[in-house]
Amino acid sequence: MSHDIADKVFLTPFEIVASEPQLSEPVILEATDHTADLVQTPTCPRCNGAMIERVAKKGQRQGQSFFGCSQFPKCRGVMNVD
């Protein structure tokens, strides 16, 4: 009995069932302007880290949004949302 692996057939869950569709002509993609979708988040005034928009849960400003440092509680830098 030969144990040659070349004679064996292995089925995998990644077997291609249908072939890729063939296009008659290339598709031209157009670039779009995505600058309007970008939201500028400020950097932390204390550590220059990234800021995260948060909502105050206690105190006088309860329910209002502000930017808090992503390194909290190590850094407690905050900024008001304009």
Round to whole Å and give the CA distance between 68 and 74.
12
The pLDDT > 70 percentage for the chain reads 63
In 4-76 the beta strands, taken as DSSP E runs, fall at: 51-55, 65-69
How high is the pLDDT of residue 38?
A: 60
Please report which residue ranges of 1-82 form alpha helices under DSSP H. none
Checking if the pLDDT of 64 tops 60, the result is: yes
Q: Side chain identity at 7, as an amino acid letter?
A: D
Round to whole Å and give the CA distance between 43 and 81.
13
How high is the pLDDT of residue 68?
A: 94
The tokens describing 12, both together, are 């995998």
